[in-house]
Amino acid sequence: MNQQLTIPKGTRDFNPEQVLKREFIFQTLKNVFTKYGFVPIETPVMEMLSTLLGKYGDEGDKLLFKILNSGDFTQNISNDEWNEKNLQKLSMKLCEKGLRYDLTVPFARYVVMHRNEIVFPFKRYQIQPVWRADRPQKGRYREFYQCDVDIIGTDSLNGEVELLHIIQDVFQSLNLGYITFINNRKILQGLAEQCEIENHFVKFTTIIDKLDKIGKDEVYAELLQLPIQAKHLENLKVFLNQFLELTTNDDRILLAKSYIQSNTGKIGINEIETILQKSNQIGLNSIKFDILLARGLNYYTGTILEVKSTEVEIGSICGGGRYDNLTGIFGLPNVSGVGMSFGADRIYDIMDTLHRFPENLTHPIHVFVANFIPEIEYKVLHIASLLRTNQINVDFFYDPHIKLKKQLSIANQKNILWVLIIGEEEIQKEQYLLKNMKTGEQYLLSLQEVIEKIKLS
């Protein structure tokens, strides 16, 4: 019968109901982004490997999907190179393009290429799929959408505040509980300096970042892997323990101020303080200063933030931060930006498990027009078309030889609320039978009344 059909690992098909739900999320995001003055761009699904490689660390490079060159590319490869079997090296010869891994790096490339036509500060949003050759698991796919908002070309902290505002707007619009964790890479830098391990900063941040997952004792244990002096570790422990016991942002800032001595660290704390003050003034809430938030991506240099659901355990649903030099790698230095990315697929999973999608979303067809008498088919079709000109979504049944019984059953399966039944008598009287499939009630109405009734429901 069927041959073995399958789709690649970590990818998914979406049925009509799922697409409608996903589009609801995308539309909500777009509406909010637009409200805050952001404009959309799109970039190709593939980029040159040279723009992608080296931007996500060694781990990230491995997760890139590479695209085989077209043409007879084997000509350029010597027998020695084949025999060497150095996959890494060989793939660079065979592939010059790759699927994008995120939207931030393509955006940086876009900014550099279009710098002369862009008006800075540039506020863009971008909603497109990205691909990672990761091992799939729950909330983790090889193809998924990112919904990015970035402000580039200003180092004003108002950028951060606006992003926090957007987060609140989005999750309130979606009716989801959330909490935003905020920190600053400069504070982490300060901590590292104070412990004299600034040369192991990346390792330090990844360990710190695991706190909510493995607990503080494990974190302290892992910190021993670093060449950290005992007295520094002891001090750090005391500080972190105190910090975690405090619940308000104000107290946490006060404590951080008293502990962190390095200049960079102090700048970071001041930034956080300013952002939180401003956020407070405009009534933003659910923001928590969390000194252990680190985030993996190396290009962040200032503020970092991460949003989690308070209702479903699924990892972060939005994350971002400030990068002072993202375009520097492409030859345009000193352009500061701040941005974040919403994980639409995870938001979908949360909303689906909590049944938070609007009820009528998945039933976009308003009325099913039955068609069961061949002789008057053209008249029924005409009525269907009149309904459509009145902004009513109409499903018209194609085959007049199929029994009404069957047609009603189809309307029922399609979950359509209204069925319009039109026979010879109805045509003659210009009164049509409108049936409510939920209640079973039927009304004999004029066309105008039919339109009103459907629109009211």
By the criterion CB under 7 A, which residues form the site for RNA? 1-4, 6, 8-11, 57, 59-60, 62-63, 102, 132, 134-142, 144, 146, 206, 210, 213, 295-297, 315-319, 341, 343, 345-346, 372, 403-406, 408-409, 412-413, 421, 423-426, 433, 435, 437-440, 442
Q: Nearer to RNA by C-beta: 2 or 78? A: 2
What is the Cα–Cα distance from 146 to 102, expressed in whole angstroms? 7
Question: What is the smallest separation between the CB atom of 107 and RNA, expressed in angstroms?
Answer: 13
Q: Is there a contact between 198 and 190 (Cβ–Cβ < 8 Å)?
A: no
Q: Nearer to RNA by C-beta: 152 or 421? A: 421
CA 193 to chain centre: 34
Q: Nearer to RNA by C-beta: 328 or 423? A: 423
Q: Nearer to RNA by C-beta: 57 or 328? A: 57
Which residue type does 375 have? E
Catalogue the long-range contacts made by 22-29 (C-beta closer than 8 Å, 24 or more residues apart).
22/145, 22/344, 22/348, 24/357, 24/358, 24/361, 25/174, 25/344, 25/347, 25/348, 25/351, 26/127, 26/145, 26/147, 26/344, 28/170, 28/173, 28/174, 29/125, 29/127, 29/147, 29/170, 29/342, 29/344
Q: Nearer to RNA by C-beta: 189 or 205? A: 205
Question: What is the smallest separation between the CB atom of 79 and RNA, expressed in angstroms?
Answer: 26
The tokens describing 122, both together, are 């540039």
Question: What is the smallest separation between the CB atom of 280 and RNA, expressed in angstroms?
Answer: 25
Q: Nearer to RNA by C-beta: 260 or 326? A: 326
Question: What is the smallest separation between the CB atom of 319 and RNA, expressed in angstroms?
Answer: 4
Question: What is the smallest separation between the CB atom of 449 and RNA, expressed in angstroms?
Answer: 16
What is the Cα–Cα distance from 374 to 376, expressed in whole angstroms? 6
Q: Nearer to RNA by C-beta: 197 or 421? A: 421
**Residue whose entry in the numeric block shows the structure tokens 């905020």:** 182
What is the Cα–Cα distance from 388 to 219, expressed in whole angstroms? 63
In DSSP terms, 307 is beta-bridged to 180, 318
What is the Cα–Cα distance from 64 to 101, expressed in whole angstroms? 6
What is the Cα–Cα distance from 393 to 402, expressed in whole angstroms? 22
Question: What is the smallest separation between the CB atom of 423 and RNA, expressed in angstroms?
Answer: 2
Q: Nearer to RNA by C-beta: 388 or 403? A: 403
Q: Provide the strand spans (E) within 10-168.
A: 39-40, 46-48, 66-68, 95-99, 122-131, 143-152
- The dihedrals phi and psi of 433, each to the nearest 5 degrees, come to -90, 115
Question: What is the smallest separation between the CB atom of 250 and RNA, expressed in angstroms?
Answer: 28
**Residue whose entry in the numeric block shows the structure tokens 């010869």:** 93
Question: What is the smallest separation between the CB atom of 182 and RNA, expressed in angstroms?
Answer: 15
Q: Is there a contact between 221 and 152 (Cβ–Cβ < 8 Å)?
A: no
Question: What is the smallest separation between the CB atom of 97 and RNA, expressed in angstroms?
Answer: 20
Q: Nearer to RNA by C-beta: 122 or 141? A: 141
